Structure 1
Amino acid sequence: MVSFRDFQPLELAVSVSTSLVRRSAIVLAVMVGTTIHAGAGDNLNVVRDLSSRIGPVVGAAMACGDIPRPRIQSIVGRFQAVIREASNSDSDRSELVRQFDRHVADGRAAVAAGRQDCRRAELQLGNIERSIGEPAVAAGPPLASPPAPLPIAATGAILAPPVRGVTDREITFGSVLPLSGANKETGRLLKLGMEAAFNRSNDAGGIHGRALKLIAADDGYDPNRTLNAVRQLYEKDQVFGFIGNFGTATAAVAIPFSLERRVLFFSPYTGANVARHDPPDRYVFNYRPSYSEEADALVRYLVKLRRIPPRQIALFAQDDSFGDAGFAGVAKAFRALGLNDAAIVRANYVRNTVDVAPAINQLKAEKAPVRAVIMVATSRAAAKFIEKAHDALPGVIFANVSAVGASALANELMLLGPRYAAGVVVTQAVPAVAGYSSLVLEYKGALARYFPGEPADYTSLEGYIGASILVQALKAAGPQVDTERLIDTLESMRNIDLGLGAPLNFSPAEHQASHKIWGTALDESGSYQAIELE
């Protein structure tokens, strides 16, 4: 834990390069009373040290409701510039942002635990603010310009600057989805579910009089297109935050972009660890369980209920970070059961293709006959694998994680014929769409009202649930919404009541609301029936 102290400006005798990072770092060093003697190659270490000093002060100030947010954001904005200029790569930038967020969390926790009081936090922030304007630097170029002065009302009070994506009438969110390509149906359904929840909120008066608006950008589930999509939403469309972004490899691109800009990244459609760091990234929140939890549930189901010997369980997975997350979950489940994970057979396919023949051939060549396959794949690739494996691996059990897109998979299999669908298992991150929980009935009512004729679907239900949690948080944050206030509100939400039938909770240490996994299996009519997983 970083200790707290008063920060006083010091006379600095430094040798300074002409780079912006050096000049920005000096300004921040003045804030914390540090002398810099580092060369250009030590920029990252300089920023890491500054992060450990400034982060706790920022965090403590954030935890004190009486300290105006614009004062805090002025300091944060300056440090963001330092991080950008010090970073030679996206990985450097992501690491520095995460480190800063951890120190900010330390400061917030210190206030919550009573180790730091708000009067002292105010004093420390004030010392930093005064230091920015009065550094004494020997023999160097001019310091980076201080932030523009905040507007002052006639009463002398500081007026908050406009919040990105928020007007008197609207709050705008963005979502990066596959609206073209092999996964376009899943993208369409996610968007539909989120819009249904937003429309329902708008018809009920909105968020303190503001309507919610969703703008979607298409990346075709191609991470090479994701950065342009998130940049378009952030820079051109000026969105307040992101919600429901699809995919793991795409999240690995979008999340660093959001963290660097301190923008909310809410309820992505991925269970991978890229969205689940420990401690959690401050701006990333998940609704759904992790792929590790889903894989664990499937391994236990196959071993304990279906009596499949572990050596006869294989993995069919996308050959990228999505598949890697599923493999890690299966391996963890094997270890938890006291089983050897070294012999797990993994057969891969390439993202955005349906080339499953190499995987089929690999599994056919196994000495021990494969009796069950855990599948970490998207709908078309999964359906093609089931089609080809149906005769090549007779009697095998196909068990999918929820990211497959339940309805899309069922539709693909029913086009092949009922025998391909019957018995296919899919774990779900949401309750049965055929059920009668209050949440499911509300969702169906919203579909009937805003999208007449659209059938209930597991994917659109997940989009609806994520958006509904966000609606609750926005209402609780109050009429003067900004990102930091919304994050604070989310982290305080316990026992979120959506009528889901499962506990939903957030906290500063827990940014995943749900750990509940539902089991389903397709019948010959292409309908999902509930099954017990344990």
Structure 2
Amino acid sequence: MDAHGGLQSPATLYAAFTGNCAMRMAQAVLGVTALSLLATLTAYAESMPDAQTVDRGRALYHGLTAWEGPVHVGDTRIPSSAGVCAHCHGARGQGGSETGIKVPEVSWHQLMQSNAHRPAYRSGQHILQTIGGTEGRDDKKLAPPMPTFALTESEGNALLAYLQVVGTEADQAQGIFPDHVTFGVVLPLQGAWRTHGERIHAGLRDRFAAINRAGGIYGRRLDLVVEDAGTRPHDVVQAVDRLVQQHRVFALVGSFLPELPAASLQTIKRYHTPLVATLGIPLRETNDRNLTYLLPSIERQVQQLVRELRGRCDVDNGLHVLHAPVPGLAEAIQVATVNAASRAEVTVQVVLNPADALDALRHTTSRTVIALAPKETVGVIRTQIQKKTSPTCLATLAMFSGLPPSALNDRSDTTVTTSEIVGLPMSSVAVPSELTIEGEGLWTFLADLSARTLAEALSRTGRLVDYEGFDRALNSLQKFEPVNGLPIEFTPQQRHGLAVAHMWKGVLHEQAH
């Protein structure tokens, strides 16, 4: 806040710092130019702020609410979006150093405490005068790149209120309360995917209940708010908005969101809301820091499936991919197979139902089929292939169609010559004996993993919870095993926790290498 030094032109400084913390502007604190505000603000600064005022100050400090008045660096007006205090002074007001400029702490304790280099601020009024552009605590104006602000009375009140709690236990992220933490989940509770939603809800609910019976996380109960994903893309947008803005959840966990709508992505970025161990499978990998999936993308899974096929099946004599009518799925399959399939001729075809699948098989000349379709359709494809001499090889993903019957018991039809490979998110030996990953049971198990992953990251964050700390904790999950033998790993580069590293071949689960 007290950055001084040689003063270049404001426009030059603004250009030099644009795009980084220092130029996004130390906007740490607040400014006001109207002298008529000073008397009321002086009295206010010495009182304990109410929760609503603190919340507004928090929103201003973190850039969730725009400034009403102009923001300047010297004589140059800059966009209000560049005046986000947290970008330079830190999410907890801890300060730091950016591009060689020391950015001071802005907690109330630090502002009101003198040191060897400068005196303390005398009052909240003094802070507002300084940020408004008058002389500061060492009788000097704040130099660029620190902006000046022309705040309304209510903005000044709110920012002073927030400075009194920033960095303390009273300054928790949205959804964090003394005795509980509120989470949200978006699930399909109607339509074709309703049973998936019900199973996921059951897995999350039961794991949350078990954690709460054991005392919660740092004594806080975990609460879950469920919103219906509906049947239209805009229904998902509204569900996410309600969770983030109305229910004010800390994070979403285990949501069945194969693809997040652009409007929802903007919402979670604006509010810094983490989407943790999201279920449903994205078409392609993501590198968005707010968004993590439990499973890798369709593109990544199909690539691995094709690699397994090459060592077991006659892929070079044609690969026929039959898939459900999911938007964008055909393109993801084409990208995944263009390199992995090498010289093979690849046909990608949508099938709407089992009858479509049978018709496609009657006309194919390929020796190998990949089926990414619901269980009923894949069952028909499997039966038809077993009756014919060509195709002779079938590959599926458990996330679409579950496991074939012979993988669920010790018996298999030894007269069948068809080879089948199924991509799995885990080996069956990792599944507790009381659970099953057959059919919809897989989603209950994955939801339980999502809840365990969330709880571990929250525990590693500590009692004081902010989004930066939670993100660091999530990325610290290296080879974390929520269930023995089932490692989960997140990094800033890898935003999915599980690897589809197990391929079922015949009647055995074999780990892929």
Coarse TM-score class (shorter-chain normalised) = 0.5 to 0.7
Corresponding residue number in structure 1 for 2:311:
304
In the alignment, is the contact (CA less than 8 A) between 1:316 and 1:359 conserved in 2? no
Match of 2:496 in 1: 512
TM-score (norm 2): 0.66
1:169 alignment partner in structure 2: 179
CA contact (8 A) 2:319 2:370 kept: no
Matched, 1:401 2:394: no
Task: Give 1:185's aligned residue.
Answer: 195
Q: Does 1:484 align with 2:468?
A: yes
TM-score between the two structures when normalised by the length of structure 1: 0.63
Please give the per-residue CA displacement for 1:124-159, whole angstroms capped at 9, x wherever unaligned: 9999x98993269xxxx9778746225379999967
- Match 1:530 to one of 504, 509, 512: 509
**Counterparts in 2 of 1:288-327, with a 5 A limit?**
288-309=295-316, 311-327=318-334
Q: Does 1:429 align with 2:436?
A: no
Contact 2:298/2:332 (<8 A) preserved: yes
Counterpart check, 1:196 vs 2:206: yes
**Identical amino acids, percent of aligned pairs:** 20
Q: Is 2:465 aligned against 1:463?
A: no
Which protein is richer in helix relative to its size?
A: 1
Change (3 A) 1:290 1:57: farther
Q: What's the CA shift for 1:266?
A: 0.8
Name which of 228, 232, 236 aligns with 2:246: 236
Partner of 1:78: 63
Question: 1:22 maps to which residue?
Answer: none
- Paired with 2:363 and 2:311, the residues of 1 have a C-alpha distance of 26
Q: Secondary structure in 1 aligned to 2:183? A: strand
Bigger Rg over Cα: 2
CA shift at 1:533, angstroms? 4.6
Does residue 404 of structure 2 align to residue 377 of structure 1?
no
5+ residue gaps, structure 1: 14-28, 36-47, 59-68, 83-96, 449-453, 524-528
Cα displacement (A) at 1:216: 2.1
Asked whether the equivalents of residues 6 and 124 of structure 1 are also in contact (C-alpha less than 8 Å), the reply is no
Q: Partner residue of 1:226? A: 236
Q: Distance in 2 between matches of 1:461 and 1:486?
A: 24
On the 8 A contact 2:58/2:159 being kept in 1, the answer is no
Spell out, residue by residue over 1:200-255, the C-alpha distance to the aligned partner (whole angstroms, 9 max, x if none): 21121111111212222222464232112212222333221111121423465543
Question: Quick one: distance in 2 between partners of 1:476 and 1:176?
Answer: 25
Q: How much does 1:459 deviate?
A: 2.1
Counterpart-to-counterpart distance in 2, 1:7 and 1:396: 75
Q: Distance in 2 between matches of 1:212 and 1:464?
A: 14
Counterparts of 1:36-435 in structure 2, within 5 Å, are 50-54=18-22, 77-78=62-63, 81=66, 120-122=102-104, 133-134=131-132, 146=155, 148-151=158-161, 160-161=170-171, 163-220=173-230, 222-250=232-260, 254-272=264-282, 276-277=285-286, 280-309=287-316, 311-334=318-341, 339-340=342-343, 343-349=345-351, 354-355=352-353, 361=359, 364-366=362-364, 369-379=365-375, 382-383=378-379, 395-404=391-400, 406=402, 425-432=421-428, 435=429
CA contact (8 A) 1:494 1:506 kept: yes
Q: How many Å separate the matches in 2 of 1:522 and 1:382?
A: 16
Q: Using the alignment, how far apart are the partners of 1:117 and 1:49 within structure 2?
A: 8
Instruction: Say whether the 8 Å CA contact 2:319–2:368 is kept in structure 1.
Output: yes
Q: 1 CA distance for matches of 2:23 and 2:226?
A: 33
Residue of structure 2 aligned with 1:474, choices 444, 458, 476: 458
Q: CA RMSD in A?
A: 5.2
Aligned partners of 2:59, 2:8: CA distance in 1, in Å?
23
Contact 1:173 1:213 in 2 (8 A): yes
Deviation by residue 1:277-306 (Cα, 9 ceiling, x = unmatched): 3xx322122332333332122112211123
Give, in whole Å, the separation in 2 of the partners of 1:132 and 1:12.
20
Q: Which structure carries more strand by proportion?
A: 2
Between 297-306 and 163-172, the greater mean CA deviation after superposition: 163-172
Whether the aligned pair in 1 keeps the contact of 2:479 and 2:487 (CA below 8 Å) is yes
* Equivalent-residue separation in structure 2 for 1:365 and 1:156 (angstroms): 67
Verify the 8 A CA contact 2:309 2:421 in the aligned structure 1.
Answer: no
Partners of 1:150 and 1:161 within 8 A in 2: no
Which letter maps to 2:350?
N
The alignment partner of 2:175 has SS state of: coil
Range moving further from structure 2, 493-502 or 470-479: 493-502
Residue type of the partner of 1:530?
H
Q: State the distance in 2 between where 1:532 and 1:184 align.
A: 32
Cα distance change, pair 153–304 in 1 and its aligned pair in 2 (3 A): closer
CA distance in 2, matches of 1:317, 1:53: 45
